[in-house]
Amino acid sequence: MRLITDPAAVRPTLNAAPERPPCKAVLMADPAHFRVESAINPWMADASGRLNVVDQPRARAQWNALKVAYETLGVKVEVIQGKPGLPDFCFCANQAVTFRDAAGKPAAILSHMRSETRAPEVPVFEAWYRDHGYALHRLPPDVKPFEGTGDAIWHHGRRVIWGGVGPRTGKDAWDHVARITGAPVIPLTLVDPRYYHLDTALAVLNRGTALYIPGAFDDASRDRLRRGFDDLIALSDTDAANFACNAHCPDDRNVLLHEGSQATVSALVRRGFGVIELDTGEFMKSGGSVFCLKQELV
């Protein structure tokens, strides 16, 4: 498989790709040890450089509400337990990307985390995936960083990956991801440090619709996105900063996102989506919201 960089090839690639079933289950990581202990992205400290302080009981309640929201939609939720000393462990989109291999078996590519503080998370997830029957793959040791589903977003209904190129995943990773998964990768270059993972700047909602932050991408990437979606919904600066792009639509119909992005919610409702607004404010203190807090399971 290959990287798709020619905008004219984006739509034919999507049309020709094999079908991919909708999300039926997610993995969530228990937030018992969630803290902000260092600033590894622009959201984790205030303007004076002071680290954000997490309200632990409030974070637990927010996490529980997200879990219930998935279960209400009929999405099964598996839970992995963290360990002390892993304060970002709850953002379980980042430690791997999951897929089904050529034989239809569940598999995962393990991440090479950019931050040394997050690298110890990966072996814990590795053990969970192995225990649950996933075949495990690794990129070559010199291909780094690569942060899993934070930058690898599957197109809905098709075996094609939108791949973020930026501070958390290098461009060299995507040739290997395409080879291992057997899926074409459409690379998208991130240019705004506030949107350090692709999942903070792009939310694929169904085969033809996505939310995105135009200023988060370079010109070539915006062109590829326009070729890939019939309805590309640009977020306002206000809703972008409210993490509206870190949304998740598991079933092509219902969108889970942080509360308060009125313009985005109105745009979704006009298009017939159900919208479930959730409070993820404690997790936003560490730079993540709904999408970051789950991993789609296959």
pLDDT per position as a tens digit, 168-204: 999 999 999 999 999 999 999 999 999 999 999 999 9
**What confidence category does residue 1 fall into, taking pLDDT thresholds of 50, 70 and 90?**
low
Q: Which helix (H) or strand (E) holds 179?
A: helix 173-181
> Residue 169 gets which letter from DSSP?
S
The pTM of this model reads 0.96
**Is the CA virtual torsion 44, 86, 176, 144 positive or negative?**
positive
Extents of the domains making up the chain = 7-297
Rounded mean pLDDT, 266-273? 98
Mean pLDDT across 160-175: 97
Q: How confident is the model at residue 47 (pLDDT cuts 50, 70, 90)?
A: confident
Chain-centroid distance of CA 184 in Å reads 18
Q: What size, in residues, is the chain?
A: 298
Question: What six digits make up the tokens of 282?
Answer: 């404690």
Distance CA 166, CA 154 (A): 17
> Around 298, how many Cα atoms within 13 Å sit in the side-chain half-sphere?
19
- Which residues participate in catalysis according to the annotation? 197, 292
Above pLDDT 90, what percent of the chain? 97
Give the SS3 label for residue 21: coil
Q: What CATH topology corresponds to 7-297?
A: L-arginine/glycine Amidinotransferase; Chain A (3.75.10)
**109 closest CA partner among 119, 120, 117, 99:** 99
Q: How does the average pLDDT of the chain come out, rounded? A: 97
Is residue 91 within 8 A of residue 291, CB to CB? The reply is no
Q: How far is CA 118 from CA 30, 79, 278, in A?
A: 16, 19, 26
As a whole-number percent, the residues of the chain with pLDDT over 70 amount to: 100
Residue 124 burial (CB count, 10 A): 17
Q: What is the pLDDT of residues 52-68, one digit of tens each?
A: 999 999 999 999 999 99
The pLDDT, as a whole number, for residue 193 is 94
CA distances to 54, 73, 105, 202 from 165, rounded to whole Å, are 29, 32, 28, 13
Residue 128: which of 55, 216, 29, 212 has the closest Cα?
29
